[in-house]
Structure 1
């Protein structure tokens, strides 16, 4: 039997996350609460047999001009979680989940499901039972179980040179809290996004940053690099389940040639070890392409994990009808899902 919890069911949502064998901040009620209404209605879908469960957070969306729906996910790595690791789930249990989930999707008039998967958790073992697991690219990961000395030996020379330059100039990292720190971060981050002509998707207001940083559900930290009294780079990172996620970062205009973000990443790896973190996920390229951003991250390590998404068509007939309505060829070479929401 499928149970559904909405953003109004905070206690139930958080109780399942608390019981998870593996989870990240992307799964939490608080992170979903930050979603704008235009993104969809946050929903936690739960299948349970006695003490065992599979939970799957989604954003429920109405398909315009229809009585149909689809499911998407928050920005970042989400996917299903359970009270047991995915590789430890019983086959009978997962088959029962599949049957219950498919029945639910059919009865509730869902056309498609999209979810980014977490590169550290073996969610593909569950979702491959449905089909639709898609290879998106790679994400760059620093292994914090190594010593900092071994880690730095793997840096590209230009990366190490930038960090040594920062040391020579006396750059410092400060962890900051409070309204002034958030205002400063917002200014640096927003100017950076404008400078690189980022899409509206990557812009957030000060209230959003205040909310994302202030919650007991995960450990969010605001770190700022200073050249003397001048803030030159600022980032929000998340410490959850032994994993540091590089969430958002901005560099002050005029300081790009000093590469303070490289210094910042190196310092965060040091801080992470102090708090017992196991990995520092730098992420992938823009749209998870192996672009200039991806190559920049490879300057720290060549250790990468595969990043996958789940792109499942529940109702092929309705999916095709929606494509026809927009005159979209289902075989078009467009990396977008569901394709009927393209353009």
Structure 2
């Protein structure tokens, strides 16, 4: 049986996600309610006492009668009341048929989803094809003691943290209006400095709302040098995983490396809360860039990050590329290609 939920079906969405064996805050109704890049839907396929859910964003394709599906900013992908890799093959095969029929009926051309690096969602999606290796994400294993963890740091990273201790830096929980105002200032300045696209720029309302929900726990933590806020981050705690969602530091304090001190401090908070992992993420676009190298200085535990790039209607996909004058076999790492500008 198939069910399609929208944001109007809040209770149902919350129930299916909350009863799943593995999920993160990126799957929740509340997080999807903040999305502006498309209209959120939750596709659910059920057989007997097992279900597979898939939160997605639907977008009209300009100049056509077709749409496509994508995902929220972050790591999402399918979920179930069983671990994905424990669902029997017959149900996964039936799911493939049902989901493909849904895509064709609703005139969806393609699907792009960032998969969750901690869950084996690829076992289901490999039945469709289109699972794409996208790089690595750097992870703290919080089952290690803090001393074992710090032995894995590069010397330059440990030196920066010791420098912060010597300077008397401290981390404050600032999950309040004043903290949000500070974060907006620091984060926006940070994103503009690194030349981030508008996709990574969020307003004060977004930051306030992402922190205020009962579906997951999120905190805003700020590093202080005496009474000056010098770095800030929003993190989320869900099912044993801490996600480093957004972070920024003041330009004039970068030489003090306050975000290294902040990352180390968060692992201690995580241990106190019984968390298993702290996911730092990868490089920009999950490339092996300077940001990825910075994160690798903390941990040698790296998880594979994959995306699902599925073409549901190859004929229309080719037509859309032709309309844009785009070669189908281009080397550009972008999906779907007809949205490449």
Normalised by the shorter chain, which TM-score bucket? over 0.9
1:253 CA drift (Å): 2.3
TM-score by length of 1: 0.98
Select which of 329, 332, 338 maps to 2:336.
338
2-side partners of 1:261 and 1:178: how far apart?
20
Aligned match of 2:25 = 25
2-side partners of 1:93 and 1:325: how far apart?
38
Aligned match of 2:238 = 240
Q: Does 1:2 align with 2:39?
A: no
Deviates more, 1:222-231 or 1:175-184: 175-184
2-side partners of 1:258 and 1:294: how far apart?
19
1:96 CA drift (Å): 0.9
SS of the equivalent of 1:254 reads helix
1-side partners of 2:118 and 2:275: how far apart?
14
1-side partners of 2:176 and 2:74: how far apart?
25
2-side partners of 1:177 and 1:323: how far apart?
46
TM-score by length of 2: 0.99
Aligned match of 2:112 = 114
The runs of 5 or more residues in structure 2 that have no matched partner are none
Aligned match of 1:186 = 184
1-side partners of 2:316 and 2:82: how far apart?
35
**Contact 1:2 1:104 survives alignment (8 Å):** no
Cα RMSD (Å): 0.7
Note the 1:230-269 alignment, pairs <5 A. 230-269=228-267
Note the 1:262-277 alignment, pairs <5 A. 262-277=260-275
Aligned match of 2:15 = 15
Aligned match of 2:223 = 225
Aligned match of 1:203 = 201
2-side partners of 1:27 and 1:301: how far apart?
26
Select which of 47, 50, 53 maps to 2:45.
47
Which portions of structure 1, spanning 4 or more consecutive aligned residues, are displaced by more than 6 angstroms?
Answer: none
**CA-to-partner distance for each residue in 1:203-261, whole Å, 9 max, x for gaps?**
11111100000000011001001011111110000101100000001101200000000
**Contact 1:44 1:58 survives alignment (8 Å):** yes
2-side partners of 1:234 and 1:273: how far apart?
20
Note the 1:116-195 alignment, pairs <5 A. 116-195=114-193
The runs of 5 or more residues in structure 1 that have no matched partner are none
Tell me the matched-pair count: 341
SS of the equivalent of 1:64 reads coil
